Amino acid sequence: MGTEKNQPKPGKRHSIAALVIALEVILVALVTVEVIEEVSEQWSAYRGARLSVQTNVIVDRLLQAAQHLAFERGRANVLANAPTPAKDNERAFLLIHRKAADQALNQAAQLLGDENAPERILLRDRYQKTLALRFDMDAALSLPREQRPPDLADRWVGNETRLLTSITDLIAALTEHFDQFTPTFRVFNRVKVQAFELREAMGLESSRYAASIAGTPMTTATLVETMHLRGRGTATWSDLRREATQLGNAPLTAALTVVETEFFKKFRPLEDRVAAAALAGMPIPVSTSEFVEASIPALDSIVAVISTATAETATYAEDNAKQAERRMGERLAEALLALVAAMAALFVIIVRLLVPLHRIQAALDTLATGKTTINLPLSPRHDEIGLMRNAVTSFRDSLIQREALERELKELSIRDPLTGCMNRRYLEETAKLEFARATRSQSPIGLLMIDVDHFKQFNDKFGHDVGDRVLRAVAETLRDHVRDSDLVCRFGGEEFVVLLPGASPEQTVERGECLRRAVKTLSLSHAEETLNSLSTSVGVAFFPIHGQTLTTVIGAADRALYRAKQGGRDRVLVAAAPADIEH
């Protein structure tokens, strides 16, 4: 009798244990779930492969436009520096490449839709400037050189170069999300962009030489620019060959061999002769027409690399899409067979066990990452699932309370309560990270030490409340006039430190002047009395020029600040040369 009393009544209770036993009987259902997940992954892969084909078309249109714009830039620059008005055939050459560039850009714009809005807007704005400059260029080319605006050629080359940069930036933005697919597709796209960058650098270099041959003297600055372009092109050529070697693509390898012959072995020596003559102040040994004719096969060989890479990328993308479609079909067939066999058993397990457990697991996974944004209300169930779910919900509520307390404590530990700026502790922690990052990337960091002039007078005359108002106003002004990546910290008293990651010495000094002027425009009053004009003294130092640690860099900036104070205040002074700094 006792044994019978301990037996559960059939039909009245369905525990987790009973469901687990049932789960062991229908393990095939788990296989089905795995197959469904695989089909989902294959569907995503297929969609990605098809999207890669579509994006590849857009990239090709953008590269076509960029190539024609590069041709137009180079030839127009040569004509703008020629002593005589442009001939009809030369104008026709410009018109052909203009139409081709405009058509390719319009096609790319139609295919792009609303994606990558910032890059598209910048490209559109620079393209509008190009259209305006074309009118000026056409008018100038009908005149002899002495009647043309002297800065037109430089403005033209500068604007066209920025336009080409916008195109490559848009291409990079378009292809970033393909990193989740295949490395080969990424390499193909890098090869296309590198080939265009090579054509752009080499084309601009040759146009500088052609302008010199046409009669425009090659100044030291122009020669330095051409050498810079040559160095950039050589580095790009090295990267291009390395990337192409990874692909092992025969047509692309053959196209690169032609570039090696036509450009580097045949045309480069001619450029060297022009450069040597310019350096020696001797007459240029070739005519403009001879130089331009020699440059055509050399630059066309680079264009051929772009065309070959474009064709091979399209072939690869199409093949990859077909393979993804085939794999997706195979997985779908497997899933359908498994689902037919296990549908009945899955219904009970999914509804009563798997779905609730999945929700609980997802909630636990989310909580494990430190997030508390889960939608898991209390459950009315009284079995193990309900108890587990309610325990997770209670745990979430306790985490929310703990997070709120931790946020409040952290905020108090790193932020100055008076000004709202980060405090010195936060500056020291952030500077370590920024200095390490700058060391790895070999980039500069600027540092400004800012002190409110005659601050003690505000406290003495108006009281500490007014002094606090002044500090808050200065802090807000500093934050409003720096970049999002910059850091404004209250260093102590009336001193502030501004950290400028990536800022060159010139940019740092310019930012210091900007902040000094901004504070000077502040207008504060107390009891209907206008406070005296605020001013600041600013000491400037740079990492790694003035030191490898925050302490040494701040020390240099502090000494510059002291000199600014001694020199009459309301000024920006740069720290002394590193050799004069005490370590």
Residues 390 and 442 both lie in one domain: no
Q: Break the chain down into helix, strand, coil percent, rounded to 5.
A: 75, 5, 20
| pLDDT of 150 over the 60 cut | yes
| pLDDT of 526 over the 80 cut | no
Q: Is residue 138 part of a domain?
A: yes
Residues 319 and 456 both lie in one domain: no
Q: Is residue 398 part of a domain?
A: yes
Residues 405 and 431 both lie in one domain: no
Q: What is the mean pLDDT of residues 27-53?
A: 69
| pLDDT at 2 (0 to 100) | 46
Query: Which amino acid is present at 467?
Result: G
Contact (CB, 8 A) for 367 and 395: yes
Residues 406 and 480 both lie in one domain: no
The dihedral built from the CA positions of residue 261, 266, 269 and 274, taken in this order, carries a sign that is negative
Please identify, among 414, 443, 472, the residue that sits at the C-terminal boundary of a domain: 414
More confident residue, 465 or 343: 465
The four Cα atoms 107, 247, 296, 196 give a dihedral, to 10 degrees, of 50
| pLDDT of 12 over the 70 cut | no
Residues in contact with 186: Cβ distance below 8 Å, sequence separation at least 6, in sequence order:
175, 178, 179
Residues 305 and 432 both lie in one domain: no
DSSP per residue, 299-348: HHHHHHHHHHHHHHHHHHHHHHHHHHHHHHHHHHHHHHHHHHHHHHHHHH
Q: Which pLDDT tens digit goes with each residue over 450-484? A: 999 988 888 888 888 888 999 999 999 999 999 99
| Chain centre to alpha carbon of residue 505 | 22
Residues 192 and 53 both lie in one domain: yes
| pLDDT at 570 (0 to 100) | 95
Q: Is residue 383 part of a domain?
A: yes
Q: Can you give the CATH number for the domain in which 476 is found?
A: 3.30.70.270
Query: Which amino acid is present at 343?
Result: M
Model confidence, pTM? 0.46
Please identify, among 380, 395, 414, the residue that sits at the C-terminal boundary of a domain: 414
13 — pLDDT class (breaks 50, 70, 90): very low
Residues in contact with 376: Cβ distance below 8 Å, sequence separation at least 6, in sequence order:
359, 360, 363, 389, 392, 393, 396
225 — pLDDT class (breaks 50, 70, 90): confident
Q: How many domains does the chain have?
A: 3
Residue 330, token pair as written in the block: 């195979």
Residues 287 and 383 both lie in one domain: no
Lowest model confidence (mean pLDDT) among 95-104, 203-212, 404-413: 404-413
Residues 287 and 245 both lie in one domain: yes
Residues 453 and 388 both lie in one domain: no
Please identify, among 357, 381, 414, the residue that sits at the C-terminal boundary of a domain: 414
Residue 311, token pair as written in the block: 């064709």
In which domain, by residue range, is 493 found?
A: 424-580
Q: Is residue 243 part of a domain?
A: yes
Residues 137 and 234 both lie in one domain: yes
Q: Is residue 552 part of a domain?
A: yes
More confident residue, 254 or 322: 254
Q: Is residue 486 part of a domain?
A: yes
Residues 410 and 440 both lie in one domain: no
Q: What is the mean pLDDT of residues 251-267?
A: 90
Q: Is residue 351 part of a domain?
A: no
Q: Is residue 381 part of a domain?
A: yes
H helices, E strands: number in the chain: 18, 7
Over the chain, what is the mean pLDDT?
Answer: 81
Residues 477 and 377 both lie in one domain: no
